């Protein structure tokens, strides 16, 4: 299943993706977060220590987290700010922390957190606005390394159809 989280106020992108994925007969779910309350990660560590796997912030992200855990692919659509994902798009990534355990292991020559669940969710970014694509791609690669998953790429909105070709 492909999970698309649109953090922009542009629901037109969601509609275009729905049309493209319906043509491909892809199983997908689109979440438009424009009217949702999603707070930023406080870095409290409760999702590791006190409530393993569960964020203590009581907002709309809890339902999203359950879908991320079971999705084959996660695509985050975000506006940009200062050449990077804006705060809404970044929140989606920051709040993924409960997927990881506090314990560490070596993967290759790098230390990584042990994953809480067996399921791996591959991740892609679609961004609207000015950004350094290479930097976003490198950042996404590092995020997916930490989650032991695959980077699906960082695509500007102008390449929405190309991103949709990667969704299956």
Amino acid 81: pLDDT:
96
Q: How far apart are CA 141 and CA 139, in angstroms?
A: 5
Amino acid 162: pLDDT:
96
In the predicted model, what is the mean pLDDT of residues 130-155?
96
- The structural domains of the chain, ordered by start, are 2-165 (3.40.50.360)
- What b-and-e string marks burial along 51-86, b requiring 16 or more CB atoms within 10 Å of the CB? eeeebebeeebeebbeebbebebbbbbbbbeeebbb
Contact of 59 with 37, CB cutoff 8 Å: yes
In the predicted model, what is the mean pLDDT of residues 81-98?
95
For residue 4, give the 3-state DSSP assignment.
strand
Percent above pLDDT 70 for the chain:
100
Q: Locate tokens 């000015």: which residue? A: 130
Quick: pLDDT tens for 12-37. 889 999 999 999 999 999 999 999 99
Amino acid 44: pLDDT:
94
Amino acid 112: pLDDT:
93
Quick: pLDDT tens for 93-135. 999 999 999 999 999 999 999 999 999 999 999 999 999 999 9
In the predicted model, what is the mean pLDDT of residues 39-68?
94
Amino acid 9: pLDDT:
87
């Amino acid at each position: 299943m492909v999970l698309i989280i649109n953090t922009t106020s542009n629901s037109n992108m969601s509609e275009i993706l729905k049309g493209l994925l319906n043509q491909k007969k892809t199983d997908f779910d689109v979440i438009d977060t424009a009217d949702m309350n999603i707070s930023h990660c406080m870095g409290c560590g409760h999702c590791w220590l006190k409530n393993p796997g569960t964020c203590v912030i009581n907002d709309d992200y809890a339902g999203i987290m359950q879908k991320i855990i079971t999705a084959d692919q996660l695509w985050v659509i975000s506006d940009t700010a200062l050449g990077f994902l804006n705060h809404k798009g970044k929140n989606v990534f920051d709040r993924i922390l409960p997927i990881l355990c506090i314990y560490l292991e070596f993967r290759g020559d790098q230390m990584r957190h042990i994953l809480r669940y067996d399921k791996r969710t591959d991740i892609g970014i679609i961004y609207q606005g000015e950004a350094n694509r290479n930097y976003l791609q490198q950042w996404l690669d590092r995020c997916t390394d930490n989650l032991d998953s695959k980077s699906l790429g960082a695509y500007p909105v102008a390449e929405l159809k190309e991103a949709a070709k990667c969704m299956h």
